């Protein structure tokens, strides 16, 4: 019995430490909304690699990809998948703006939008966005496709 309490306490400390270490990483975000004729799916995921043998994404065009070792210290991959009539749109003009709303309200930021697809996959995986740094908090993003009305997304990281 003398060893049970210290062992249980050690496990509790390890579990609590792991929870604290992962706090703020949040969950993946996936939200879909219609913007004119387009279905727009916003995803906020862990930052993705664009270089090296393990590259998850292949940059196609648009803004330069923000690399994982960039001085910007990206920790998330914020992208949109654009579809029309159920098919991926490979040539959209996409603008993504975002700002934190809580715990503090920040100024609007414009994400440098790159067109990319998943490495080793077809252009059917085309999506738009980039890696960026996000602090834990509540955010709003507006996404404009081909100059249409902005679609607004709210999410928490």
pLDDT in tens, 30-69: 999 999 999 999 999 999 998 888 889 899 899 999 999 9
Asked if residue 150 has pLDDT above 70, the reply is yes
Domain boundaries, the chain: 26-156
Domain 26-156 sits in CATH at: 2.60.40.2480
pLDDT band at 24 (very low <50, low <70, confident <90, very high): very low
First to last CA, the chain: 42
Which tens digit of pLDDT belongs to each residue from 74-91? 999 999 999 999 999 999
- The pTM assigned to this predicted structure is 0.80
pLDDT band at 2 (very low <50, low <70, confident <90, very high): low
Q: What is the dihedral of CA 119, 120, 124, 128, to 10 degrees?
A: 10
The pLDDT mean for the chain works out to 85
Asked if residue 3 has pLDDT above 70, the reply is no
The answer to whether the CB of 98 falls within 8 A of the CB of 105 is: no
- The neighbouring-strand residues paired with 33 are 40
Q: What angle do CA 11, 17, 20 make, to 5 degrees?
A: 145
């Amino acid at each position: 019995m003398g060893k049970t309490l210290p062992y249980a306490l050690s496990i509790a400390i390890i579990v609590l430490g792991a929870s604290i270490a992962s706090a703020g990483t949040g969950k993946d975000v996936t939200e879909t909304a219609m913007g004119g004729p387009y279905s727009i799916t916003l995803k906020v995921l862990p930052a993705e690699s664009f270089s090296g043998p393990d590259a998850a994404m292949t940059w196609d065009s648009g803004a330069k990809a923000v690399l994982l070792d960039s001085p910007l210290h990206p920790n998330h991959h914020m992208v949109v998948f654009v579809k029309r009539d159920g098919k991926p749109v490979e040539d959209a003009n996409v603008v993504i703006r975002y700002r934190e709303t809580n715990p503090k309200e920040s100024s609007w930021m414009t994400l440098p939008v790159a067109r990319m697809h998943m490495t080793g996959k077809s252009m059917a995986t085309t999506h738009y966005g980039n890696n960026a740094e996000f602090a834990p908090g509540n955010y709003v993003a507006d996404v404009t496709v081909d100059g249409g009305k902005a679609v607004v997304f709210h999410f928490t990281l």
